[in-house]
Amino acid sequence: MAGQGRGRARRAAACLLALLGPLAGCGPAAAPADPARGEIQRLLDRRARAVLDHDPAGYAAVVDPADPAAVAAARRLYANLDEVPFASWTYRVTDVDRNGDGTAVAEAELGHRLRGHDAGPVTTSLVLDLTERDGRWYVTGERTAAGAAQQLWQQGEVDVVRGARSLVLGVGRSAARLRELAAGADRAAPAVSAAWPRPWAGRVVLLAPDSLDAMGRLLGAPAAGYRGIAAVTTGETGGGPDAPADRVIVNPEAYGVLGAYGRQVVLTHETTHVATRAHTSAATPMWLSEGFADWAAYRGGGRTAAQTAPELRRAVLAGEAPDRLPDDEDFAFSGDGDALARAYESGWLACELIASAWGERALTDFYAAVAAHPRREGAVEKALGDVLTTTPEEFTARWRAYLTERLR
Q: Can you give the chain as a three-state secondary structure string?
A: CHHHHHHHHHHHHHHHHHHHHHHCCCCCCCCCCCHHHHHHHHHHHHHHHHHHCCCHHHHHCCECCCCHHHHHHHHHHHHHHCCCCEEEEEEEEEEEEECCCCEEEEEEEEEEEECCCCCCCEEEEEEEEEEEECCEEEEEEEEECCCCCCCHHHCCCCEEEECCCEEEEECCCCHHHHHHHHHHHHHHHHHHHHHCCCCCCCCEEEEECCCHHHHHHHHCCCHHHHCCCCEEEECCCCCCCCCCCCEEEECHHHHHCCCHHHHHHHHHHHHHHHHHHHHCCCCCCHHHHHHHHHHHHHCCCCCCHHHHCHHHHHHHHCCCCCCCCCCHHHHCCCCCHHHHHHHHHHHHHHHHHHHHHCCHHHHHHHHHHHHHCCCCCCHHHHHHHHHHCCCHHHHHHHHHHHHHHHHC
pLDDT digits (tens, 9 = 90+) for 251-307: 999 999 999 999 999 999 999 999 999 999 999 999 999 999 999 999 988 899 999
Distance CA 343, CA 170 (A): 31
Distance CA 46, CA 48 (A): 5
Nearest to 107 by CA among 98, 97, 94: 94
Q: Model confidence at 333, in pLDDT bands (50, 70, 90)?
A: confident
Positive/negative CA dihedral, 47, 53, 56, 61: negative
The model's pTM: 0.88
Distances from the Cα of 59 to the Cα of 51, 82, 86, 152, 302, angstroms: 7, 11, 15, 18, 53
What pLDDT is stored for residue 225 in this prediction? Answer: 85
Tens of pLDDT, residue by residue over 122-180, are 999 999 999 999 899 999 999 999 999 999 999 999 999 999 999 999 999 999 999 99
Mean pLDDT value across residues 322-336? 88
pLDDT averaged over every residue in the chain: 91
pLDDT classification of 30: cutoffs 50, 70, 90: low
Q: How many C-beta atoms lie closer than 10 Å to residue 60's C-beta?
A: 20
171-187 in b/e burial notation, b at 16+ Cβ within 10 A? bebeeebbebbbbbbbb
Report whether pLDDT(3) > 70: no
- CB–CB of 139/43 below 8 Å? yes
CATH architecture of 149-280: 2-Layer Sandwich (3.30)
pLDDT at 32 over 70: no
Confidence at residue 26, expressed as pLDDT on a 0 to 100 scale: 45
CATH number listed for the domain at residues 35-148: 3.10.450.50
Separation between Cα atoms, residue 139 and residue 231, nearest integer Å = 36
- Phi/psi region, residue 136 (left: phi>0; alpha: psi -120 to 50; beta: rest), is beta
* Boundaries of every domain in the chain: 35-148, 149-280, 281-408
